[in-house]
Every structure is written in structure tokens, then in C-alpha cells.
Amino acid sequence: MIPPAPAVGAIAPDVTFLDAEGRPWRLTDQRGSVVVLVFHRHIH
């Protein structure tokens, strides 16, 4: 079940991703910078 999409204008979800070495990257740590998140289904 997919939760509702966040509304434009709302605080973005607090998400954490991993780099290739397994180190965490947390969106909330990027405050102060503009971030573009590009979700893809594959890399090529």
C-alpha cells in the first residue's frame, strides 16, 4: 500500500538512502541546500 504523496508546500518526508559503500545519506541533513531527488527504476 502506497501512502498518499506528500503535498507540494509541505515538509518533505524524512528519508534515508545508502551510498555504494552502505553509508547513510539523510535528507534532513541537507537543510540549507536545495535538493533535487530523482527516483528512477534503474541506472544505465
Partner 1 sequence: MRDRIDEFGSEATVVLVTFTDAESLAEYQSRHSLGFVALRDPDRHGYRAFGLGRGSVARVWGLRAAKRYLELIRRDGIGGVRRPTEDPRQLGGDFVIDGEGRLVWGFWGDGPDHRPAIGDLIAAVRNAAR
Contact criterion met (CB below 8 Å) for 20 and 8: no
- 40 near partner 1 (CB under 8 A): yes
Do residues 14 and 6 touch, judged by C-beta distance below 8 A?
A: no
Residue 27: closest CA among 4, 11, 7: 11
Least separation in angstroms between CB 12 and partner 1: 4
Work out whether 26 is an interface residue with partner 1 (CB under 8 A). no
CB of 23 to partner 1, least distance (A): 10
Residues of this chain that bind partner 1 (CB under 8 A): 2-13, 15-22, 25, 27-28, 30-44
